[in-house]
Amino acid sequence: MNNEKILFLLGKIDYLILVLGLFLIVVLGYRNQLISFGVPLVVSAYFIGKNLLVLKDLKVLIPLSLLLVIGTRIGKGYFLINILRDYAYFLSPITAFIMGYFMQKYMSLSKFMLLIVFFGTLYSLIYFLQITFIFDTLFVADAEDTRYSVGTGLPAPILALVFIVLGKKYLKEFKISSLYWFLFVLVNLLAFYYFASRVYYLTLLLYFIPLLYNWLIRKYKKIGVYMFGMVIMIIVTVIVILLSGDNFLAEKMRNSLTEMFIQSFDDYDSVIHNWRAYELFEAIKAFMNGGLLDKFLGYGFGKTIYLEFELIMPLLTISEIPIFHNGFAYLLIKTGLLGLALELFFSAFLFYKGYIYSKGRDDLKFQFYILVSSILSFNFSLLVVNGFFSGESCCLLILSGFIYSLLKDENQKEMLL
């Protein structure tokens, strides 16, 4: 076997590793942190191990890498399990981004989008199967039941919807019947409804609005601006109408601010009904009680927060917690103000690099707006469910790494012309 055949075979193996990794994360990664943390770690380590020089192309990840240094503490007496968990959480966005970066080296954007559509749809079908097992029917009237019985799912079906509706031109090359595209939309839309997740509703808007703006401006020029304004008015009107309803989701949306942000807690019931806000309250209190160095560099990995109101469950009473729903509070406690600034700098720097790489290239605007939407989405997820670190935003970070790699490569090609 000559060298060309060996290289071809090795390339195919690398490609299959990436596809299998994406399959595991999208289809089997929900509530399985061994997969959502472990797969990107193994895949990224494998490809970096093949070529250490590639690290110089990943300077954008320096701010996130510094968080691992800032969070390291020696002799603090923290429990090892809490320390290791924090290392896993802070590594998660780095390895997911790197995995996406390498995926772009082995496949086109069209093929990546198709994989997301297929795997997202497959995950939706598995979600339906779980619903059927629990309720003996697929047609459950109240999404509250599916949310709490099966879970809020992963964002892959949302990405599948976005790619089919607003990225169709990149999928045309696969010659798939319009009937199948319609079925893909229907399946993922139904799963999206059953998730009943406020985070994913806003995630869909964070992708839909920028990409729709790009499409309208490119297709209709100045008239597209007015059309976009009308669409925004329609969206706002629909949201107002939906919020005025008396269903579970409308009530959850109305209570979002009181659930997530600091308020007064007079008794145990107010704590239980506004648990995320209570977590934030205790985290901010711990931050303010710390010394100057603790405020600037945090308490380090392994730090837990004491709860004045203990969380009482049937077989367990929790008096301290190691992680929080609010990822910015999580950053603040573990890595201080410097860590918070580094995460925001990473987001801003990623946006800046994407803008520079796509500047003056109308053919890259779609990719740039995907990157913008991803940055907005994983930061919103960080605020509400700590998805940036907990693995829930793994797909979004893989997508971010893929698009960043694509824009960087296109920019380098242009510079060589």
**Sorting pLDDT into bands at 50, 70 and 90, what band is 199?**
confident
Predicted confidence (pLDDT) per residue in 81-130, tens digit: 999 999 999 999 999 999 999 999 999 999 999 999 999 999 999 999 99
Which tops the pLDDT comparison, 76 or 123?
123
**Sorting pLDDT into bands at 50, 70 and 90, what band is 245?**
low
Lowest mean pLDDT among 21-30, 144-153, 269-278: 269-278
| Maximum mean pLDDT: which of 6-10, 335-339, 379-383 | 335-339
Q: Residue 394's closest CA among 71, 189, 56, 94?
A: 94
User: What residue spans of 136-246 are helical by DSSP H?
Assistant: 143-149, 156-166, 168-171, 178-195, 198-220, 222-243
304 Cβ neighbours under 8 A, 6+ residues apart: 78, 79, 82, 320, 321, 322
Q: Does 320 score more than 70 pLDDT?
A: yes
pLDDT at 175: 86
Predicted confidence (pLDDT) per residue in 261-304, tens digit: 656 677 777 777 778 888 888 899 999 999 999 999 999 999 99
The mean pLDDT value for 354-369 works out to 93
pLDDT at 365: 93
The helix (H) or strand (E) run that includes residue 124 is: helix 109-135
Q: Are 113 and 211 in contact (CB under 8 A)?
A: no
Instruction: Provide the CB-side half-sphere exposure for 352 (13 A, CA).
Output: 7
Q: Does 152 score more than 90 pLDDT?
A: no
pLDDT at 298: 94
Q: Does 330 score more than 80 pLDDT?
A: yes
Contacts of 409-413 with C-beta under 8 Å, sequence gap 24+, read 409/104, 410/357, 410/358, 410/361, 410/364, 411/356, 411/357, 411/358
Q: Does 242 score more than 80 pLDDT?
A: no
CA 186 to chain CA mean position, Å: 23
pLDDT at 58: 95
Q: Does 31 score more than 90 pLDDT?
A: no
Could you give the CA distance from residue 72 to residue 302 in angstroms, rounded to a whole number?
9
Could you give the CA distance from residue 54 to residue 47 in angstroms, rounded to a whole number?
9
Residue with tokens 């939309």: 185
Percent of the chain, pLDDT > 70?
93
pLDDT at 115: 97
Predicted confidence (pLDDT) per residue in 204-231, tens digit: 999 999 999 998 888 888 888 888 889 8
pLDDT at 261: 63
Q: Does 16 score more than 60 pLDDT?
A: yes
